[in-house]
Amino acid sequence: MATKPSHGSGHGPASEPQAHESVSEQIIVRSGSPLEGSVRVAGAKNSALKLMAATLLAEGAYRLSNMPRIVDVDLMAELLRAVGCSVERDPKDTSALRIDVPARITPVAPYDIVERFRASVVLLGPMLARCGEATVALPGGDDFGPRPVDMHVKGLAELGARVDVVHGNIEASAPQLLGARVVLEFPSVGATENLLMAAVAAKGRTVIDNAAREPEILDLCRFLQGMGARVSGVGASTLVIDGSGTTELLQSTDHAVVPDRIVAATYLAALGVASGEILVEGARYDHMELLCAKLTEMGMIIIGEPEGIRAVAPRRLDSVDCSTLPYPGIATDCKPFLVTMLATASGVGIVTENLFPGRFRYVDELRRMGADIRTDAHHAVVRGVDRLSGAPVRAHDIRAGAALAVAGLGAEGPTVISDAHHVRRGYENLVGDLASLGADIRIGQADSDRPGE
């Protein structure tokens, strides 16, 4: 297949995100011809933010390449500046970030930044390790149910820290962290990351059992190893960290961020709804095996290549049942895309959410578009319809907004997505990238053929 050039790919000046997007921003989508061409995925948001936090462990100059140009990275940069660091895009390569960490940092993550995104809680571990104390406001972020920090607090306490939640802040202190065996009740990504970063400065050996195994965890482990930390068991559910009792032996390093598997899944879902053939450049098949197997079961052809993932989709997919599970299972972030694909597939599929039970808010928006979906606690029963209907809908979070854009590719008439600023928190240029594949999609105010509210 001859691929079309990616005219709208998110790598030029127009794709630079703004940290304060207007809540009135809209994405307007219409169905059109099948998708065709290639699109490149940037570094993973869920890794980039944690690597930025990990730089606080040691003084020095860092260069992080393949960094996504998204709002959440801008917010983490604000946080690092608030504690005393310098953070700038490399003028010669804007996909690279230069971070200078001073000899002394202020271990306080202020509420006015923290409340805007949940990943900010991972500053707790590295600040505690570096300074012996840390204060982080309870985090905000996407609204899809409670995600308590109990495992973070309990795990750090087992390393010898005193951790209290006072007046909306997590306050931790530990003159000396001590190695210990920590068994997580659930393979929490955030708790694993915080414990990893704290343990590199603990005195003695720390063993984290039932650790998360996501590719983003592996990326953090490799980064810490590059800084001189002794981390073993990488990729397994038991991580072993031999700490030196201080962060003074760690040093700054350069690192390339692992590709974003959730963004890759978004483009595969768009193909599944619109049909066609695309190459998702940079995507790692080995990071998405179970999802790719599920898409194959639905009727897509998925091929892992050195350049990325090539995929072909027929006009209409078949329904399947699927569940979200900790890695290597299907990520909860992929569920909105699976539900959207099932909404126009042939037959009935059941999607089970095993991680965040409140994450079905976008279903009401899909119903506005004519989707036949029933939810019951952790389950969504999706009866596919031949075609959705364009409608005004609202993006409640990053992935919901992207999923509604995908749904619009299979709808009769225009779909107008409000609160689309959420999407920029996790995507460099979703609209431009889909447009480069032939999708009829744009950012702007609705025109005269928008359906009435």
> Could you give the residue numbers annotated as active site?
142
- Report DSSP state, residue 286: G
Which amino acid does the sequence have at 176?
Q
CA separation for the pair 318, 178 (Å, rounded)? 53
* β pairing state of 169-173 and 133-137: antiparallel
In contact, 346 and 319? CB cutoff 8 Å: yes
**From CA 394, how far away is CA 362, in angstroms rounded?**
8
Q: C-alpha 375: how far from its chain's center?
A: 24
Query: Residue for token digits 């994450």?
Result: 359
Structure tokens at 234: 């990488």
Taking Cα atoms as reference points, which of 103, 112, 102 lies closest to residue 79? 112
Token pair 């003084």: residue = 59
Peptide bond into 328 cis (omega under 30): yes
Residue ranges of the alpha helices (H) in 110-237? 111-114, 124-131, 150-158, 189-199, 215-226
Rounded to whole angstroms, the Cα distance separating 171 from 173 reads 7
Nearest by Cα to 341 from 307, 373, 377: 373
Q: Pairing between strand 379-383 and 372-376?
A: antiparallel
* Spatial CA neighbour of 381 closest among 418, 339, 419: 339
Provide the 8-state DSSP code for 43. B
Only one residue has tokens 């003028």, namely: 91
For residue 373, what are the CA distances in angstroms to 294, 301, 348, 385? 20, 26, 10, 10
The SS3 call for residue 157 is: helix
Per-position DSSP letters for 213-271, written without gaps between them = --HHHHHHHHHHHHTT-EEE-TTSSEEEEEEESSSTT----EEEPPB-HHHHHHHHHHH
| Secondary structure, 3-state, 325-339 | CCCCCECHHHHHHHH
